[in-house]
């Protein structure tokens, strides 16, 4: 029977009665399930908040385990335009006298023969090019142009050491009407004397060193008379003097002269015969270290506040928070506090966070004594570095613990998976209750429909009987109406 038709025959409010019976039967159980679901959702949300706070602490712990930052060096080159410098934590604090003697440059060779343009023919043969340990050859024919030779050199799969280009220049520097000529330029890709260029030719005219055909690209530093390419820039090594001792590099970078220090030559000396003496000063930069330690303390204290809020119990209202008394949260808090309070870490002094100015307060948060930390960084840097960094340092210990809490298969995931199972169980139970209520409602409707029909029939029969009695009374009394 459709909803809203019960009671039509009898005139009774059977629809309302069915609704009240179903509500009375199902509401307590559905309300109980809703309460359970809300609590589980609150737990999931609370663990999400906890996880976010733990993630921030893990980032801070990773930053704490950064030897380069903790032992960062300050660099002062006195504003030098000749060299720049960088230093790792291995660099010795102090001063160095620096002289730039030479800047490394790459060799350049240019053809001396006059080519009218890039489309001029170069002649048939084979041109072999050597740059340091790299050698390769290109083959030309009677149709190869200067541009074609350039492209063959640059596109050779074996070429790793030289770049070919074309220059269009004045034929006579003092006479513009003389027109222009095109020259081939070979430039070594790397600086230093070890990357000097040499070429050899197998020319179709059988003369490999004359000023004709492919021989126009022959060059050997040991055969300057027959060489047809001119050296426009000699390959040169960089040279510097550090505290009076000379160092040489094929590049402009010196990374092994002073331990932990990298020097880069920027410009050659203005007067090579009298190079200026400049000062490189290396200091301890405590800014990065103190900043990371402060960030760690802040992240730890934020986590402490988060846990306190998630587990608080209001004695006035007798109301617990979502995670009040939760054993997982207690275990996480205890584990991390234990790491922060561990003594005897590192290989020197300070051997604990408290010894370098990071200590616990009564509320479980950390307090940073900036003056004590600054002293430790300036006077006990090796000990601070050992305490904070490395596989057994505070940073690594926190990171390892937090990985086991936050990563896949960790503590947080195990708890949230448990909550997910609870939600699925609640959903299944709710569906079971609703299905039972649907069956019960159908049963009630069937029974009340029968009752409605019976009452309707009884009412109809009563109405008929009353009508007959009225008619009989009228006949007996003779009264009508």
Residues 102, 106, 111, CA angle at the centre, nearest 5°? Answer: 130
Measured between alpha carbons, how far is 321 from 317 in angstroms, rounded to an integer? 11
**Residue from 240, 239, 223 nearest 231 by CA:** 223
Measured between alpha carbons, how far is 459 from 11 in angstroms, rounded to an integer? 10
Domain boundaries, the chain: 1-70+285-481, 73-104+237-284, 108-233
Sign of CA dihedral 419, 421, 423, 425: negative
**Residue from 109, 98, 49, 57 nearest 76 by CA:** 98
Tokens 């240019």 sit on residue: 110
Measured between alpha carbons, how far is 268 from 400 in angstroms, rounded to an integer? 50
Per-position pLDDT tens, the chain of length 481: 344 465 444 556 667 777 787 788 878 888 888 888 989 898 999 999 999 999 999 999 999 998 888 888 999 999 999 999 999 888 988 999 999 999 999 999 999 999 999 999 999 999 999 998 899 999 999 999 999 999 999 999 999 999 999 999 999 889 988 899 999 999 999 999 999 999 999 998 889 999 999 999 999 999 999 999 999 999 999 999 999 999 999 999 999 899 999 999 999 999 999 999 999 999 988 888 999 999 999 999 999 999 999 999 888 888 888 899 999 999 999 999 999 998 877 777 898 999 999 999 999 999 999 999 999 988 888 889 889 988 889 999 999 999 999 999 999 999 889 989 998 998 888 888 888 888 887 777 777 666 666 666 666 656 667 766 777 766 677 665 5
Radius of gyration of the chain (CA): 46
- Whole-model pTM: value is 0.64
- So what's the pLDDT on residue 434? 87
Measured between alpha carbons, how far is 323 from 321 in angstroms, rounded to an integer? 6
Phi, psi for residue 318 in degrees, rounded to 5: 55, 40
Sign of CA dihedral 377, 380, 384, 385: positive
Measured between alpha carbons, how far is 334 from 466 in angstroms, rounded to an integer? 88
Would strands 125-131 and 197-203 be described as parallel, antiparallel, or unpaired?
A: antiparallel
């Amino acid at each position: 029977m459709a909803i809203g038709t019960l009671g039509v025959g009898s005139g009774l409010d059977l629809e309302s009665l069915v609704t009240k019976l179903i509500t009375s039967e199902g509401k307590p159980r559905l309300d109980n399930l809703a309460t359970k679901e809300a609590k589980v959702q609150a737990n999931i949300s609370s663990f999400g908040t906890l996880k976010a706070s733990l993630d921030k602490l893990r980032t801070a712990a990773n930053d704490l385990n950064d030897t380069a930052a903790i032992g960062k060096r300050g660099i002062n080159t006195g504003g030098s335009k000749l060299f720049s410098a960088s230093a790792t934590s291995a660099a010795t604090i102090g001063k160095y006298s620096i002289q730039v003697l030479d800047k490394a440059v790459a060799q350049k060779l240019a053809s001396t023969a006059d080519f009218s343009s890039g489309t001029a023919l170069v002649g048939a043969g084979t041109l072999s090019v050597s740059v340091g340990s790299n050698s390769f050859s290109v083959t030309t024919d009677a149709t190869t142009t200067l541009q074609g030779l350039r492209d063959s050199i640059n596109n050779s799969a074996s070429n790793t050491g030289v770049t070919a280009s074309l220059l269009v220049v004045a034929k006579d520097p003092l006479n513009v009407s003389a027109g222009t000529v095109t020259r081939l330029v070979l430039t070594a890709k790397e600086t230093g004397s070890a990357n000097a260029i040499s070429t050899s030719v197998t020319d179709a005219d059988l003369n490999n060193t004359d000023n004709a055909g492919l021989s126009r690209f022959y060059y050997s530093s040991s055969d300057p008379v027959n060489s047809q390419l001119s050296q426009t820039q000699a390959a040169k090594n960089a040279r510097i003097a550090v505290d009076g001792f000379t160092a040489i590099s094929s590049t402009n970078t010196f990374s092994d002269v002073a331990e932990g220090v990298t020097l880069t030559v920027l410009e050659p000396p203005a007067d090579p015969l009298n190079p200026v003496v400049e000062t490189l000063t290396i200091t301890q930069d405590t800014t990065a270290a103190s900043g990371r330690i402060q960030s760690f303390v802040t992240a730890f204290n934020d986590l402490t506040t988060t846990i306190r809020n998630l587990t608080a119990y209001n004695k006035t209202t007798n109301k617990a928070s979502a995670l009040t008394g939760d054993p997982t949260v207690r275990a996480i808090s205890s584990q991390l506090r234990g790491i922060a309070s561990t003594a005897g870490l590192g290989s020197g002094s300070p051997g604990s966070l408290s010894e370098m100015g990071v200590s616990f307060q009564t509320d479980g948060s950390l307090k940073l004594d900036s003056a004590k930390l600054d002293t430790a960084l300036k006077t006990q840097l090796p000990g601070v570095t050992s305490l904070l960094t490395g596989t057994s340092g505070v940073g690594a210990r926190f990171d390892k613990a937090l990985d086991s809490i936050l990563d896949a298969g960790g503590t947080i995931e195990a708890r949230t998976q448990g909550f997910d199972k609870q939600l699925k169980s609640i959903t299944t139970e709710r569906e079971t209750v609703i299905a039972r209520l649907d069956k019960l409602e159908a049963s009630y409707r069937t029974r009340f429909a029968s009752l409605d029909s019976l009452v309707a029939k009884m009412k109809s029969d009563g109405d008929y009987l009353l009508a007959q009695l009225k008619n009989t009374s009228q006949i007996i009394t003779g009264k009508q109406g």
